[in-house]
Amino acid sequence: MKDLREYKVMATGKIRQVAMDALQEQVQLLSWQQGGRMPKEQFDEWLAQADAIYSTGNIRVDEALLAKAPRVKVIAQASVGYDNIDVEACRDRGIVVGHTPGVLVDAVADLAYGLVLDSARHIVRGSEHVKSGLWGQRKGLGFGTDLAGKTLGIIGMGDIGSALVPRAKASKMQVIYHNRHQRTDDAQLDVTYVSQEELLRQADFVVLTVTLNPSTRGLINRETLALMKPTASLINVARGPIVDMEALYEALAQGRLACAALDVTDPEPLPGEHKLLTLPNVTVTPHIAASTVETRDAMALLTVENILKGLAGEALPAQVK
C-alpha cells in the first residue's frame, strides 16, 4: 500500500484504541478524545481538512455535511447499519462508503437470543422483583413459558437471522422466517419460509433483524401487531423506527401482546420518562447488541481497513453498494 501519511482522517466521535493506534501509524488522525461533544467550530475545521471520515454513527452524513468536506474520498462507518448516511449523495461526489458487516453477527445473535430467553422467562423482571424486596414479602412474580416446542419467527433472515437459528434450535424451537426473497438453504438451516402475515400469526416470538429503509420503517404498526398472538413477544435488535412505539405501547398495555424486548428504540436514547418504560412487560437495553470488547475491536479494525484501502484507491473490504 502506498504512503498515506499526507492524508488526514477525521473521527466524528471517540474511537477504539486499536483504531487510533492503527491509523496514527499510517495517516494524520484528527480525533476528539476529550470529554463531551466536539465543539462545532473544531468539527467544521477538521471536516474541511479531512480526506476520509471515520464515522461512529453519531452524525447525519448528508448534502449539508458533505458540502463542508470537499476533500473527502472515503467514509467508513463503524457499524453494519448506515441509515444515517446519504449514500446517493456520497456516490454523486465520488465518495466510497464502507461499513462493518459480518464481524458483529455472533454478538448481535447472542443478544437477540438473550432477549428471546428474557421474554420467555422474565429474567430482568425477576431481578427487579428481588431488588425491590417483593420476594422477601412472599409476593409472586408469575410464571414464564418454555422455549421448547415454541415457534420463533425471524423477519430478515440475513447473517444475523441465520446465526440466531442454531441458538433457537438448541432450545428446541421451530423456526420460520420472512425475507424479501426465499433463501436457497432452508433445508440446511432447518427453517421454513412463510409470508410476513403468516409469520406474525404463527410465531410465539418475533425477532426483527431487517435493515432500516423506506419499506421497513414502521413495519410493525397497529395493523401488523393486531396479527400477532396475545401470548407472543416482539424482539427488536434491528433499528428503532422499524417499530411504531405508540402502537407497541398500546398493544402491551391493553394485553394484546405479552411482551417486548428492545435493544433499539425510537427515539434513541429512549427518555427515562417514556411511557413504555412504565410497563412491567417490557425490557429495554441501550443498543448494546454489538457491545463486546472483541466485536467492537473487530469493527474498529475493519473500519480502519476500509479507510486505508479507500485512500489508497483500492476496493474496500466492506463497501456499501
- Band the pLDDT of 1: cuts 50, 70, 90: low
Secondary structure (DSSP) of 268-321: SSPPTT-GGGG-TTEEE--S-TT-SHHHHHHHHHHHHHHHHHHHTTPPPTTB--
Q: Which residues are catalytic?
A: 239, 268, 287
Q: Which letter does DSSP use for residue 212 in this model? A: P
pLDDT digits (tens, 9 = 90+) for 193-245: 999 999 999 999 999 999 999 999 999 999 999 999 999 999 999 999 999 99
* Bridge partner list, 155: 178, 208
The SS3 call for residue 177 is: strand
pLDDT digits (tens, 9 = 90+) for 66-96: 999 999 999 999 999 898 999 999 999 999 9
The SS3 call for residue 30 is: strand
The C-alpha atoms of residue 192 and residue 186 are separated, in whole angstroms, by 6
Helix ranges restricted to H, the chain: 17-24, 40-49, 63-66, 87-92, 105-121, 123-131, 159-170, 186-189, 196-202, 222-227, 245-253, 293-311
The C-alpha atoms of residue 151 and residue 192 are separated, in whole angstroms, by 11
The SS3 call for residue 155 is: strand
pTM of the model: 0.90
The C-alpha atoms of residue 308 and residue 52 are separated, in whole angstroms, by 9
Backbone angles phi, psi at 45, to 5 degrees: -65, -45
Q: How does the average pLDDT of the chain come out, rounded?
A: 96
**136 or 35, which is more confident:** 136
Mean pLDDT (whole number) for 31-35: 84
pLDDT digits (tens, 9 = 90+) for 231-278: 999 999 999 999 999 999 999 999 999 999 999 999 999 999 999 999
Per-residue confidence (pLDDT) for residue 67, from 0 to 100 = 97
